[in-house]
Structures are given as structure tokens and as C-alpha cells.
Amino acid sequence: MKSKHTFMPSFILVCLFVICGNFTIYAQNTSNFIEIKGIVTDEKSNDRLVFSDLIIKNTNISTVTNIDGEFALKIPMQHKNGFIVITHLGYEKKEISIPSTNEKLKIKLTPAVTSLETVQLVAKTGDAKSLVLETLQKKGTLYNNSNTLMTAFYRETIKKRRKNASLSEAVVKIHKQPYSTYRKDNIELVKARKNTNYDRLDTLALKLQGGPFSNLYTDLVKYPEFIFTQEDIDNYEFSFGKSTNINSKLVYVVNFKQTPLVKTPLYYGKLYIDAETLALINAIYSLNVENKELSSQMFVRKKPRRVDVHPTKATYRVNYRIQNGKWHYAYSNILLSFKVNWKGKLFNSIYTLNSEMAVTDWEIHNTKIATLKNQMLRPSTILTDQASGFSDPEFWGEYNIIEPEKSIENAIEKIKRQLKKT
């Protein structure tokens, strides 16, 4: 059985490297905000909670915790006496006042208890497949249907085995189209910086084509065609997992995987669906890469003839956030691993590409969002190679970013030292 599936547009270019490009740095006034930092953990186990949401109450300003459970949040002075709301799937919501000191915050969340009503509520929905279909049909009513301008932070790293070989970061504006329309979203580049250590990439440079668009297309509500379509929905098996909750609201967990008869690589994972509204609030899924030849064709666009490249892992995550009764795209993460074999060589190389994008602020536009052609990115974009900005500690100014994890912090420090030497 063949599938007419449209695959997630995250393409990897394997090619001889070329160093090119430069970028303009924009000055920022950093006197009208305060910055707080901290860590979010489980109250009982003390485990660090990854991808927790932190939002300044009564605003759209937000950030997420990194892979170490750490965060940094820039707060405009007019909100310094406000509150921060912290949420995480499977935990009770917590609200704290914004501190007046620079002391690092230690925020502990309490695991939520799922009620015994779960089995009865699941029974009301019928089978898991019907629930998913009903969820996908609700995008016009449950999700933001206004033209929205979103500020987001994007980070992309490439590692050869455990060593960082490339680091790209950018602030972008997402011109988000209403969920009820089929119009594609656009992305405007605000500012960016990138550094690549080609010595660590040997004679090959792996580049992620699509950049921020790859993460934006994980929005399954806006772009269901990359996972579930009318043609291939029957190629999946759906089943209920153990329910959980968020903000004291019950959340269904639906597991999905491709049927045994389907040989084309499809996806498997979990969908988290709000039990009351049937809105998709979170999805974690992976591509089946057991078939090396077919999965390689999905990602590799260009490579030398003597090189064999195939993915060993392709995982995706997308989170949604609710504001004023409407859900919207909030965060996504893509992790891709590739094995590179040179014909005639004994040893292979392992490359890992990780990209993430977090919406840090947004506003509704009552009129159609203008298109600034000279600043708009294309879905085929590869972020320009350049090192500008790493020597400037105030490079991001007032823009919120995802707090860099320890390995990325170390990479940035090394880049700074290299720049000082030159």
C-alpha cells in the first residue's frame, strides 16, 4: 500500500562548504526592561522541567524553559509589578509575583492528579481516530482567526557527534494567517547571528534548508497535510493512552503509528487534546526511519556521489498556548540525526541538527499584514553564515530569547574568544 503523504519540509543539504554573507546589526535601547532568570523543577522529584511556559500575566509576552529547565525573561518596566504564570503539561499552574531582585528564581511545580472520571469521559468520545478527526476539524473555531504578528526567537545548532560545529540564532516576525484560511504564513527576519566551525565539519557542511519555516510547519493545526491527510489518515492506527491534565483541565492522550501494511515512512507519536474543547494543545512525534533509502530521500537534497547519508532520528514537538479563549502556535522543536559514510572509509560521522522556535510576543492586526519583500524569508532559506553579534552582550536588546543550554553557552564563549583574537 502506498501513501500520498506530504512530508514535513525539513531538508538537509550535504555539500562542499562555502563561506558567504554578512549582516547588519541593529542598536537596541536596553534601559526600559528588567531581566529575570531561573529554573523550573518538579516539586517532588526536583527534576528539571523542559519546555515549561512562562507568561507575564495579562500580556502576550512569554518564553519557555530550555533543555536544562532554565529560562530568562525580559519584562518591560510597565509590567515590573505584575505576575508570571508558569504552566507545564501534567502539572498545576503556578503564579508568582515578579521579583525586584536579580536573584535566580527556583520555581517548583506540583504534579497534577488525573481524576477517576477519565475512563468515563474517554468513553463519550468514541474511538481515538474519530477524536483526532473531530479535533482537526475545529481549527476554525478554537484557534486564532485574526491576522497576527508574532515575535519569535529561533535557534539552530549542528553538532558533529558531541561537538558544536554551527550555531545560528535569529529574532523573526511571523506573519500568522488565520487558522480558518489556507493562506501560508510568512516570516520576516529582524536580526540574526551565526558562526560555523568548518574544521569540525571536515569537508562537508550540513545545512538545514527552511530554517524557521521548518519549525513553523510543525503547526499541525495549520498544516495537517504534513502528517494527516484525507488520503493517508487510514494508514495510521490510533489508540488512547493514559490521560493527563494541564491547568486543572483534563487532557486526552492519543497514540498513533503507521499500520503494518504501509512501507512508506510515516510518523508515530502522541497527541494531547483538551477534553473540554477537543483542541490540540501539544504533539510529540517522530518519523519512522527504519527504511534507510526512503527516509534518506525525504531529507537529503544534495550530496557528493561518494557519500551515503541517512537519518537515524527525526523527532518533532509542537506546543500551543491559549489566550482570550483562542489557541495559537507557541513553540516547536526539531531534532534530526544523520549518519554520513564515505565510500572506502572505515569510520562514519554522526551529525545532529536541532532547531527550536518560541513565540515571545504577539499582537492582532485588524488589517492584512504587510509584506516587506526585502526582509521576508523563503521556505528554502538557509540562514546566512556570519559571526556578527557574538561579541556584543546586548545584541538581542529587549527581545526575549530561549536561555541557551550549557553546551550552547560554552560554544558562544568560545566564539567570543575567537573573535577577540581576530
Phi then psi for 22, rounded to 5 degrees? -155, 175
* pTM of this structure: 0.88
Name the most confidently modeled range: 171-180, 297-306, 363-372, 408-417: 171-180
Provide the 10 A C-beta neighbour count for residue 381.
17
Contact partners, residue 159, CB within 8 Å, separation at least 6: 165, 351, 352, 353, 354
Question: Are 224 and 136 spatial neighbours (Cβ–Cβ below 8 Å)?
Answer: yes
For residues 394-411, average pLDDT: 89
- Please state, rounded to an integer, the average pLDDT across all residues of the chain: 83
- The answer to whether residues 167 and 138 touch, using CB atoms and an 8 Å cutoff, is no
Per the structure block, which three cell numbers stand in for 59?
500580556
Q: How far is CA 370 from CA 53, 124, 247, in A?
A: 29, 45, 36
pLDDT in tens, 113-150: 765 454 445 545 568 999 999 999 998 899 998 889 99
* C-alpha to C-alpha distance for 16 and 198, rounded to whole angstroms: 10
For residue range 235-253, what is the model confidence (pLDDT) as tens digits?
999 999 988 988 888 999 9
Using an 8 Å Cβ cutoff, are 280 and 256 in contact? no
Identify whether the C-beta of residue 74 lies closer than 8 Å to the C-beta of residue 33: yes
Q: Output the pLDDT for position 103.
A: 82
